[in-house]
Amino acid sequence: MKIAMIGQKGIPSSEGGVERHVEEIATRLVKKGHEITVYCRSTYSEQAPPVYQGVDLSYIKTSKRKNFEAIIYTYRASIDTLYRNFDIIHYHALGPASLSFIPEIFRKKVVITVHGLDWQRDKWGRFAKLYLKVGEHVSARFPDKIIVVSENLRDYYLHKYVINSVDIVHIPNGVNVNTPKESNLIKTYGLASDNYILFLARLVPEKGAHYLIQAYNEMKTDKKLVIAGGSSHTDSYVKSLISDANNENIIFTGNVHGELLEELFSNAYVYVLPSDIEGMPLTLLEAMSYARCCLVSDIPENMEVIKRDCGFSFKKSNPDDLKAVLLYLLSNQAIVKGTGVKAYEKVMKLYNWDSVAEKTEKVYLDLLN
């Protein structure tokens, strides 16, 4: 099969769950013998390699302005697919899905993966949120198949739209088998194994880093707090976090990749994801794959992953409850370690990139047949 993927900023992934998702499934589909083209934004990568692990990369020139970057890229990529003999056009995320009707008009087979309800995110203004809601409606009406990354999203679509349940498929994110790393690179930040609490995600309001900083500032602990991640058109929010973190034990690392990221996951005492909104939290799965005990807000998407015995939760948007649960975990090391082991066992059993690629391939084959 010849498959085009549109919506991700590009690969290899340097930020964002959508980019990581596309990279993992695209490289695996190539190994299965398929021809994969990933459309990348010109603003994403300075190196711009033409091929990555067998995946053809097609770069689309676009604007650097937040409100126009995605739509210009998606429009140009969608038009380009009309001149190329793709079997499947696969859109990722609600914004790009808004233009999925273009190949549909020309009777192309279209698949959309919904990674989350992006219009809920605080970083978008009124016009952008309205446009993303249009993308949601298009994603429910036009594609031949809809993929959602969580059961909560599947329920949302089935209840809100008249959709045949056969046409909407739940395929979660996955993880790789990770080998824990010793604490070498993290020493430059004054970190050692088990001496820090880890937050690792994009620094956008809906990820809730401000709740964690507020809770931490009210605690007495020798463990440091690491805020790992970078801005996503949210520079003013990042500045507010740094201003609020008036504490020498709160460390901002910026975006992290490669061995440093692996070391941060491997040696964290506990991983905290205090998000108000999620689609399918990939960083949570990764933390669990390193056998880390995870503390998350009690939104359905997080609870779907940790269930009852593979992590801990606190009341969404509630720094006081977050502080209370965190203090409990800091004083119960044996429980923290045991929960991390359970988390690892579960994530290895249920979330696997090879399985994600196989299920995605099946969606394509069912559609073509």
Sequence-separated (6 or more) residues with CB below 8 Å from residue 320: 215
91-110 pLDDT, tens digit each: 999 989 999 999 999 999 99
Structure confidence at residue 180 (pLDDT): 87
Instruction: Report the sign of the C-alpha dihedral through residues 47, 53, 56, 58, in that order.
Output: negative
| Helix, strand, coil percent content, the chain, rounded in steps of 5 | 45, 20, 35
58-104 pLDDT, tens digit each: 999 988 776 688 899 999 999 999 999 999 999 999 989 999 999 99
Arithmetic mean of pLDDT over the chain: 91
Question: If you ran DSSP here, which 8-state letter would residue 190 be given?
Answer: T
Q: What is the pTM of this model?
A: 0.84
Sequence-separated (6 or more) residues with CB below 8 Å from residue 258: none
CATH superfamily, domain 185-350, is Glycogen Phosphorylase B; (3.40.50.2000)
46-57 pLDDT, tens digit each: 667 899 999 999
Structure confidence at residue 349 (pLDDT): 87
Per DSSP, the residues of 198-257 read EEES-B-GGG-HHHHHHHHHT---SSEEEEE--BSS-HHHHHHHHHH---TTEEEEES--
Q: Where in the chain is the domain with CATH 3.40.50.2000?
A: 2-174+352-368, 185-350
Q: Which two tokens stand for residue 292?
A: 């880390």
Residue with tokens 């088990």: 194
Sequence-separated (6 or more) residues with CB below 8 Å from residue 165: 158
Structure confidence at residue 165 (pLDDT): 67
In the chain, % of residues over pLDDT 70: 97
In the chain, % of residues over pLDDT 90: 71
Structure confidence at residue 246 (pLDDT): 85
Q: Which CATH architecture fits 2-174+352-368?
A: 3-Layer(aba) Sandwich (3.40)
- Mean per-residue pLDDT, 289-312: 92
208-254 pLDDT, tens digit each: 999 999 999 999 999 999 999 998 888 999 999 999 998 999 999 99
Structure confidence at residue 46 (pLDDT): 66
